[in-house]
Structure 1
Amino acid sequence: MSTLSPTSIPLSQPVPIPLGEVLPWAIFAGLILVLAVYFVGAEEGALSIFSGMYVHEFVHDGRHLLGFPCH
């Protein structure tokens, strides 16, 4: 009966991910984040893209949760 010591188990090495594969996804996630912050924080009044208060009411609780004043 042979026993394996911790040194006899091969360790896996991390594989580096090229920056060219990560960068497009990071830019996409950043744009989605900026768009979400815009809709939660600034979509009302003079900066409004959509008329009415529909977007404001949809993100109203998130606006208060993140500390944006709205009324």
Structure 2
Amino acid sequence: MAQTVAPPTANTRAVPAKLPLSAIAPWAVFFGILMMILLYFVGAEQGATSVFNGTDVHEWVHDARHLLGFPCH
């Protein structure tokens, strides 16, 4: 029983496509600003720097404040 060996072929590994920085930067800036706004509402939306009157925002993010270690009482 004869066996033949195939000759070696060229390296055909798939190379992953690279995303250019110009495609990622706008999304990174957008999500960075969104996270800063969220951090403000969770951490500082109360008292002298309050944007909204009343305690509605404070009550909505109350548990998140405690989870992230912000004092609120």
Tell me the equivalent position of 1:22. 24
Could you tell me how far apart the structure 2 residues matched to 1:9 and 1:16 are? Answer: 20
Runs of 4 or more above 4 Å deviation: none
Deviation, structure 1 residue 61: 0.1
Could you tell me how far apart the structure 2 residues matched to 1:58 and 1:33 are? Answer: 17
Could you tell me how far apart the structure 2 residues matched to 1:12 and 1:69 are? Answer: 52
TM (normalized to structure 1)? 0.86
Residue identity (%): 54
Equivalent AA in structure 2 for residue 30 of structure 1: G
Tell me the equivalent position of 1:35. 37
Unaligned runs of 5+ in 1: 1-6
CA RMSD between the two structures: 2.3
Tell me the equivalent position of 1:4. none
Tell me whether 1:10 sits opposite 2:12 in the alignment.
yes
The alignment of Structure 1 onto Structure 2 pairs a total of residues equal to: 69
Deviation string 1:46-69 (CA, Å, 9 cap, x unpaired) is: 000000000000000000000000
Unaligned runs of 5+ in 2: 1-8
SS in 2 for 1:31: helix
